[in-house]
Structure 1
Amino acid sequence: MRTARDIGRDLLDGFVVEATGKGDRVDPVLAPTGGPAGNAVLTAWTGLVLLVLFVGELLTLFDVRGLISWHVAIGALLVPPALLKTAATGWRVLGYYTGREPYRVAGPPPTVMRWLGPLVVASTLGLLASGVLLILLGEESGRQRVFALGFGISWVTVHQGVFAVWCVVTGLHLLGRILPAVQLTVRRGGAARVPGALTRTLLLVVAAATAVVLAVVLVRNDASWQRDRFRLDEGRPPGAWASGLAAGPEG
């Protein structure tokens, strides 16, 4: 009879195998879009784009007040690729659970990654959605406390709470996926042999163009956060806003 320790060891072993790029899953390659292999390449590229943007977003947290426009702009840039990655992953999940042969052959990810997936999607979309909502609401409404389950919380608090959850689950997800993603995209000829490169490129270009438009729109709507910064910053020494990290509209 298997014990909880045995099950835990198997889960950890599966996670480590996936994280080190030694997994034995083989994605079928199908024309014209690439099938599961094309889906995996698109997901990997989108994931790397998100990684770069999230690193930039995290850097703005060192002075979120002083870098509020950058924080908003990068946050907006994150939305379309996050939706694209969610759609690509969802397509693969749908293919597997509806019994489509190529995706059944590819099989599911390791159990730990399967558990993390919904949490990563929910926390990422929740983080971005709450950030966009804060910009649209403005600072006064964003900081106003509302009662939920007997507790008075603001949308800023919600955003910060989702951010904390996102850090944990996405950090684990990153450990398990970063090396396989690099192997799929950067290794010589890795993605070039998979059909559908033009379609994947167009999807990424459309996501990038949409991201730029969204960034421009949201930066133009962050005026209330900007006005508050300039009003409160009068008479304060340069760099004083680094101490206001937790008070920012996002992160």
Structure 2
Amino acid sequence: MTVIDGRTPAHDTTEPDGRAAGGPEGNERLTAATGAVLLLLFAAEGVTILFLGRLLTLHFFIGLLLTGPVVLKIGSTGYRFLRYYTGAPAYRRKGPPAPLLRLLGPLVVATSVAVLGTGVALALLGPDSGPVPVLLLHKASFVCWVAVMSVHVLAYLWRLPRLIGADLRRRPARHGTPAPLRAGRWSLLVLALGAGLAVALAGVHLVSAWTAR
């Protein structure tokens, strides 16, 4: 709070705990919205696995599209981790996730990167990828990812409606000010989807080597 000429205090937009930038609440809402998008995209990707012979092109396309939102979610969770462990007051007050979820966090990141990384490698290398068993690594990392993500989704799914709904509502927050940087959070999500779409459009033609085989 800042006093101007002895009159009514006004809100200081440079609060040291980061609330002016959205703070932990804004970070949580961004992570939730990104997680909801990823949940839908991964569900669609799962459907293509059931009919891979007919939906291989769509499988490739969605897999490449996922790269943008996955990078954004890793960034948002990594930012919270960094702010908490560097002692930012608002993030310290918010506290860390539950111990089990803290242990699963690195595994979620590692398996997600492994699934997408091996998928992109398969697209680039084609069916004749040489001695490296990339397809086997892709399948193994997918199995590990499903196991880890099942716990992760069950832990966080119930929070998504509240967090996303809070950001979509136009009702002003306390003191008559809107939630900080709401437009910025949704812009980041749209940008991540756009980046993923650009990657998918640029790389989906690589599936032709697999369909020819």
- Is TM > 0.5 for Structure 1 vs Structure 2? yes
User: CA–CA distance in 2 between the matches of 1:86 and 1:192?
Assistant: 29
- 1:166 equivalent among 145, 152, 156: 145
- 1:74 equivalent among 37, 62, 65: 62
Asked if the contact 2:101/2:152 (under 8 Å) is kept, the reply is yes
1:119 aligns with 2:111: no
Listed one character per residue, the Cα deviations across residues 78-105 of structure 1 (whole Å, up to 9, x for unaligned) are 1110000000000000001111111111
1:155 aligns with 2:140: no
1:175 aligns with 2:154: yes
1:195 aligns with 2:177: no
Paired positions, count: 191
Asked if the contact 1:185/1:191 (under 8 Å) is kept, the reply is no
Which residue of the partner structure matches residue 59 of structure 1?
A: 47
* Amino acid paired to 1:87: G
Asked if the contact 2:68/2:194 (under 8 Å) is kept, the reply is no
Listed one character per residue, the Cα deviations across residues 148-192 of structure 1 (whole Å, up to 9, x for unaligned) are xxxxxx100000000000000000000000111222113573997
Asked if the contact 2:38/2:66 (under 8 Å) is kept, the reply is yes
User: CA–CA distance in 2 between the matches of 1:205 and 1:227?
Assistant: 34
User: CA–CA distance in 1 between the matches of 2:203 and 2:79?
Assistant: 29
Q: Structure 2 unaligned runs (5+)?
A: 1-16, 174-178
1:208–1:96: structure 2 CA closer, same or farther, 3 Å change rule?
A: same
| 1:145 Cα deviation from its structure 2 partner | 3.4
- 2:118 equivalent among 107, 130, 133: 130
1:224 aligns with 2:212: no
Which residue of the partner structure matches residue 81 of structure 2?
A: 93
Listed one character per residue, the Cα deviations across residues 88-146 of structure 1 (whole Å, up to 9, x for unaligned) are 000000001111111111110111111111101110111001100100001111xx433
| 1:212 Cα deviation from its structure 2 partner | 1.1
| 1:208 Cα deviation from its structure 2 partner | 1.3
| 1:198 Cα deviation from its structure 2 partner | 1.3
* Amino acid paired to 2:145: W
Asked if the contact 2:34/2:69 (under 8 Å) is kept, the reply is yes
* Amino acid paired to 2:51: D
User: Which structure carries more helix by proportion?
Assistant: 2
* Amino acid paired to 1:179: W
1:49 aligns with 2:34: no
Q: Which runs of 4+ in 1 moved over 2 A?
A: 186-194
1:190–1:104: structure 2 CA closer, same or farther, 3 Å change rule?
A: farther
Q: Structure 1 unaligned runs (5+)?
A: 1-27, 147-153, 229-251
User: CA–CA distance in 1 between the matches of 2:171 and 2:135?
Assistant: 41
User: CA–CA distance in 2 between the matches of 1:195 and 1:139?
Assistant: 48
User: CA–CA distance in 2 between the matches of 1:182 and 1:124?
Assistant: 23
User: CA–CA distance in 1 between the matches of 2:171 and 2:28?
Assistant: 10
User: CA–CA distance in 2 between the matches of 1:189 and 1:29?
Assistant: 22
| 1:65 Cα deviation from its structure 2 partner | 2.2
Q: Taking every aligned residue pair, what percent have the same amino acid on both sides? A: 38
RMSD after superposition: 1.8
User: CA–CA distance in 2 between the matches of 1:191 and 1:158?
Assistant: 48
User: CA–CA distance in 2 between the matches of 1:190 and 1:77?
Assistant: 30
User: CA–CA distance in 1 between the matches of 2:202 and 2:147?
Assistant: 30
User: CA–CA distance in 2 between the matches of 1:218 and 1:80?
Assistant: 14
SS in 2 for 1:221: helix
Asked if the contact 2:48/2:59 (under 8 Å) is kept, the reply is yes
